[in-house]
Amino acid sequence: MSDPTLSEHIESTLPHKLVAFGVVALGLAAAWQTTLIPQVLYTTVGPSAFAWFVAVFLLVLGVMLLLAAFKGGWAADQEGTLSEWGSLGWVTLGLVINAALIEWIGFILASTIMFALVARGFGSDKWLRDGAIGFALAIISYVGFDRILGYKIGSGLIESLI
């Protein structure tokens, strides 16, 4: 086999570069919009803290994707990869069940179920461990949003006990 020409290489990595530039642009847009959030002078962590985290994360991710794209693309070593429809199904099921149950059973239980289903989508078959990890993360998230930030994210049986 002969080495690909420069034009073939550019053509094969163009979609990767476009996605990378899109993520960078999204990060820049998020940063710009974050600057428009009114600042509260009496708080250490203001309302824009999480938005800045997301903006910086998107920018770092975009730059990393861009570097990978210029090195040949992030799928350069995978010729004919198979789609993981089963995994996508587990993740989708987790998101749908979370959205459907959060009003009825509360944030913590709905998020625990979602975490276990998404973990299954990523290949884990340890339901009990994944449920315990998801439960712990959901409690931490609930306390962080509800008790510390004062943002109500759903109440249920467990939330009423905390």
More confident residue, 109 or 162: 109
pLDDT tops 90 at residue 5: no
The pLDDT value given to residue 10: 54
Q: Over the stretch 70-129, which tens digit does the pLDDT of each residue have?
A: 887 665 555 555 567 888 899 999 999 999 999 899 999 999 999 999 999 999 999 999
Determine the residue type at 149.
L
Distance, CA of 72 to CA of 17 (rounded, Å): 10
pLDDT tops 50 at residue 1: no
pLDDT tops 90 at residue 26: yes
| Closest listed residue to residue 26, CA positions, set 63, 65, 59 | 59
pLDDT tops 80 at residue 42: no
